[in-house]
Chains A and B, each alone.
Chain A
Amino acid sequence: MVATLQLTEVGVRYGKQEVLSGVTTPVLKGGEVTAVIGPNAAGKSSLFRRIAGLLDGPGDIRIDDAALRPGPSPVCYMPQDTSVNTVLTVYEAVLLARKQGTPRKVTDEDLQEVDRVLFSLRIEPIAFKGLNELSGGQRQLVSLAQVLVREPKILLLDEPTSALDLHRQVEVLALIRSLAREREICVVLAIHDLNQVLRVADRVMVIDAGTMVSCGPVETVITPTLLQTIYRVDGRIERCSRLCPHVIIDGPLEPA
């Protein structure tokens, strides 16, 4: 059986202020990719932090992992990128992520997994660079390596591609897509580029002003109406010559 994640009436409170409420999802299964979209400051990051257990709030988060393993949690969360000045090499930083909550000693298996992940993200050439020497995009790839190396069953990615160039974006999202299928990982990712969402996601959850507006299959949720109501832009969804849907933006919505 694959790992599953289900949210029921989940919310987040900072003190008395409610920043997110009423997020309810169907059962999200391993192998599926769910994209979380919405304007800036809509509450996406709060939702991720809540699911990851870093924030308190009302509601029920049900995580089922049939092969409930002892040791590290099946949920791995990649926060939005923050710059660090730690004197560690990329290799050490990724190994470090792997060793949290596991026996102290570094095994051959640990090193093999680090190597595998670095290679899959094609960052093995910078493996022995210092974290403080990396570009923003490289740092983001290292963060991604840090969650992948933990062999997650449920993977929460908060804007994993925001600092990457186009090639890397496509490559990384394709990797996430294929890892989700191969390893039956339940992926939830926040992402702004709707065209990427159309390419990578099975399901979309729309968060706006602290509430969940809709949640469903990609093509039923991403519509011209969504563009108008949530993003206040005029746009169309059209199929290209290869019959893939694309979002085409015509311009900002004229103020009524």
Chain B
Amino acid sequence: MAHSPAIAMVKGRGAYRVLVQRKKLVLLALAVVLVLSVIADLGLGPARYSMHEVVLALMGSPEVSEQISVVIWDIRMPVALMAVVVGAALSAAGAQMQTILNNPLASPFTLGISAAASFGASVALVFGVSFLPWAIDYIVSINALIMAMLAALFIHFMSQRRGVTVETIVLLGITLVFTFNALLALVQYLASEQALSAVVFWTMGSLTRATWPKLAITTAVVAISLPLFMRRAWALTALRLGDDKAASFGVNVRWVRLETMMVISLLAAVPVAFVGTIGFIGLVGPHIARMLVGEDQRYFLPASVLSGAAILSLTSVISKSIVPGTIFPIGIITALVGVPFLFSLIMSTRRRAW
């Protein structure tokens, strides 16, 4: 082929820039889906409002009635936004777990971190026992957080041992899931009837528990965590090329892993602490992101965050639409909706994603 080196080289640069533009467009499209979903979420409930009414209420227009404004701003807004931040947090946590453990099955749910958090919460709900005695107001959340962190650290340190493979980590996670589920069952067995229903409701996961303070805390955790990940974007991407290669690029593999795992446990635990167990977002969100934009963390992480947020928000919409007037616990719906969606994506994509 008679092409000059200069032209070939400029072509590479140009093609890369096009690729980057495409990824940015995908992010934009995800953001649009998310916004539309939030608006739909706000419009749905025992009383249904049109998209037009919701937008007017959001803009504070005098054309909508006071009642609609109150319902949308004070009742539905915390729930709708909670879906967004919880989805974002779980998906980001799942994305980074898959990255640092080099494992497509890793997510807070599959590796037992959610189960640990549920156990911690149930101890608080049933016995009123706090793992931190002075944090009595938030014992349910704090207990969930502590257990989640312990589980995350356990997984982390076990994965650091020599000879531990990807498969071992998954097996380890499954043992954690079973252990904590057994402990949870034990607590349920010992619980009073009233406490039992609280625990059961908890384990199903429901956004209706959302309040403005809880929303603020979850948002703060997400807002602190994401920049930490983004700062390490190049190093985290390099980890996926294998430890040896990442280390040969000068990445402090051990430190990046530990730091990331700490942030992950916070990201995974806080949502569980507030809204209960919501599975699959942490697994599905990152896989969708990977198929859409690949694994360059500069785009992979935002795409995971947006797709996780969008899925949970859409799930919230669906949980209200199945039977009008009834809101199903969202934890039940995520699996039922998320899994077929992921499955169809996997089957329709030609590129092997793992």
A residues engaging B (CB < 8 A)?
A: 49, 52, 54, 72-73, 76-79, 82, 84-89, 91-93, 95-97, 99-101, 104, 111-112, 114-116, 118-119, 124, 127-128, 130, 132-133, 143, 146-147, 150
B62 at the interface (CB under 8 A from A): no
Q: How far is the CA of A111 from the CA of B12 in the complex (A)?
A: 8
Q: Which residue from B10, B19, B231, B248 sits with its C-beta under 8 Å from A128?
A: B19
Across the interface, B15 reaches (CB within 8 A) one of A91, A95, A112, A133, namely A91
Contact A96–B250 (Cβ < 8 Å): no
Cβ contact within 8 Å between B250 and A132: no
Most-contacted residue by chain A among B8, B12, B247 (CB, 10 A): B12
* Chain B residues with a Cβ under 8 A of chain A: 5, 8-13, 15-16, 19, 231, 233-235, 237-238, 240-242, 244-245, 247-251, 290-291, 294-296, 351-354
Q: Are A124 and B241 in contact (CB under 8 A)?
A: no
Cβ-defined contact, A85 with B352, below 8 A: yes
A127 touching B351, Cβ below 8 Å: no
A79-B244, A87-B290, A96-B237 are contacts. A119–B250 as well, Cβ < 8 Å? no
Asked if B15 and A87 sit within 8 Å, CB to CB, the answer is no
- The residue that B234 contacts in the complex, of A54, A77, A100, A146, with Cβ under 8 A, is A100
Q: Is the CB of B15 within 8 A of A86?
A: no
Query: Please, which residues of chain B bring their CB within 8 A of the CB of A96?
Result: 234, 237-238, 241, 296
- The chain B residue with its CB closest to the CB of A111 is B13
Contact of A91 among B12, B351, B352 (CB under 8 A): B12
**Are A88 and B250 touching (Cβ within 8 A)?**
no
Answer whether A100 and B240 are a contact pair too, CB < 8 Å, given A76-B248, A87-B351, A124-B8. Answer: no
- What is the bound-complex CA distance between A77 and B251, given in angstroms? 12
Judging by beta carbons under 8 Å apart, are B248 and A115 in contact? no
CB–CB B294/A99 < 8 A: no
Contacts of B244 in A (CB 8 A): 49, 54, 79, 82
Q: How far is the CA of A20 from the CA of B230 in the complex (A)?
A: 39
Assuming A54-B244, A72-B250, is B9 touching A112 (CB within 8 A)? yes
Contact B10 A115 (CB under 8 A): yes
Known: A95-B16, A112-B9, A116-B9. A84 touches B242 (CB 8 A): yes
Question: CB distance B233 to A104 under 8 Å?
Answer: yes
Which residues on the A side are within 8 Å of B353 (C-beta)?
Answer: 87
Instruction: Give the distance in Å from the alpha carbon of A147 to the alpha carbon of B241 in the complex.
Output: 13
The answer for the CA separation of A132 and B104 in the assembled complex, in Å, is 15
Q: Which of A91, A100, A143 contacts B235 (CB 8 A)?
A: A100
Distance (whole angstroms) from the CB of A146 to the closest CB of chain B: 8
Q: Which chain A residue lies CB-closest to B293?
A: A87
Return the chain B residue nearest A85 by Cβ: B354
Question: B233, B237, B248, B351: which contacts A79 (Cβ < 8 A)?
Answer: B248
For residue A146, which residues in chain B have a CB less than 8 angstroms away from its CB?
245, 249
Contact present for A88 and B294 (CB under 8 Å): yes
A36 to chain B, nearest CB (A): 16
Residues of A within 8 A of B238 (CB): 96-97, 100
The contact of B9 among A73, A88, A124, A130, by CB within 8 Å, is: A124
Q: Are A101 and B250 in contact (CB under 8 A)?
A: yes
Q: For the complex, give the distance between the alpha carbons of A44 and B342 in Å.
A: 45
Q: How far is the CA of A118 from the CA of B5 in the complex (A)?
A: 11
Asked if A54 and B248 sit within 8 Å, CB to CB, the answer is yes
Q: How far apart are the CA atoms of A91 and B354 in the complex, in Å?
A: 19
